[in-house]
Amino acid sequence: MNYYVMTLFPEMIEDGMHTSIIGRAMAKGLLSLETVNIRDFSVRGDGRIDDYPYGGGAGMVMQAEPVYRAYEALTARIGYRPRLIYLTPQGRVFNQQMAKELAKEQDLIFLCGHYEGIDERVLDEIATDYVSIGDYVLTGGELPSMVMMDSIARMVPGVLSNQESGETESFSGNLLEYPQYSRPEVWHDTAVPPVLMSGHHGNVDRWRRDQSLYRTLRSRPDLLPGVELDKKDRKFLRALLEQGPEFGGYPITEQEQDFLRKLLAI
């Protein structure tokens, strides 16, 4: 996977992308990263690339021509026009499925806007995808591009070790991850859940699945309708409902009970 990032702040991208798993993948040659400083393509004598918005309003707009020239220079070097992702709160919201799909590409260009955005005309010509990383507004596209690159990289074969890859499946199943514990057995007077010390793999797996179901219900109920529930999952969720707040340390609210009744059609 070759990443190209068009930005006004290349150092921000370079500084953020060479550590940990991503840094290791780059060193191994599984990923590459090149930044393009849009400012180098200014068409004005003063090196500026922004101007006032037509129609008035606050802030400045990045001009079309420097962005276009940066893009032309980059794609001439790459030899073709790969997908170009423009980071914007107006885009489709990024998720794990998109990360998986984008990981199949050979090359990806990320275009980071700043100020009040980029002249629409150049976006119309060069952007293939408009992506948001969530319903909040950041000062620019740099952090969103790094979020996307990190998440896409994990889906590129070889980037994660076998041991690490197992962990990726928890979200693809639409369930949140279960809690993890490590030594010591007791910390701040709290012991590790006994089932994890039992050595009974079947019980451990069931407990983890129940924890995942419970966490998803509490934090992300919107994901539950997309989960394939088997008989044992339904049994656990029904127990949550029927035994109410006293059930084995899994308290739920009345609202969550209503939600479960609908989900289980009871």
* Residue choice 61, 122, 133, 217 for contact with ligand ADE (CB under 6 A): 133
Instruction: Confirm if 13 and 146 have CB atoms less than 8 A apart.
Output: yes
Task: Count other Cβ atoms within 10 Å, centred on residue 47.
Answer: 10
CB of 123 to ligand ADE, least distance (A): 13
- Tokens representing 86 are 């423009």
**Stretch binding ligand ADE (CB under 6 A), from 22-30, 55-63, 120-128, 133-141:** 133-141
Query: Quick check: 117 binds ligand ADE (CB under 6 A)?
Result: no
**How far apart, in Å, are the Cα atoms of 27 and each of 110, 162, 184, 202?**
21, 18, 34, 39
* Residue choice 71, 74, 111, 141 for contact with ligand ADE (CB under 6 A): 141
Backbone CA torsion sign across 110, 150, 14, 52: positive
* Torsion, CA 141, CA 35, CA 159, CA 165, rounded to 10: 0
CB of 84 to ligand ADE, least distance (A): 14
Instruction: Return the number of the residue (80 or 136) whose C-beta is nearest ligand ADE.
Output: 136
- Tokens representing 160 are 């994660």
Which of 27, 119, 29 minimizes the C-alpha distance to 69?
A: 119
Instruction: Return the number of the residue (97 or 106) whose C-beta is nearest ligand ADE.
Output: 97
- Beta strands in 94-206, from DSSP E residues, in sequence order: 107-111, 129-132, 186-187, 190-191
The contacts of residue 73 (CB under 8 Å, 6+ apart) are: 36, 41
**Binders in 74-113 for ligand ADE, by CB under 6 A:** 87-89
Instruction: Return the number of the residue (87 or 153) whose C-beta is nearest ligand ADE.
Output: 87
**Stretch binding ligand ADE (CB under 6 A), from 28-36, 130-138, 191-199, 200-208:** 130-138
Instruction: Return the number of the residue (54 or 136) whose C-beta is nearest ligand ADE.
Output: 136
CB of 177 to ligand ADE, least distance (A): 23
CB of 148 to ligand ADE, least distance (A): 9
Contact residues: ligand ADE, CB under 6 A: 87-89, 132-134, 136-138, 141, 144
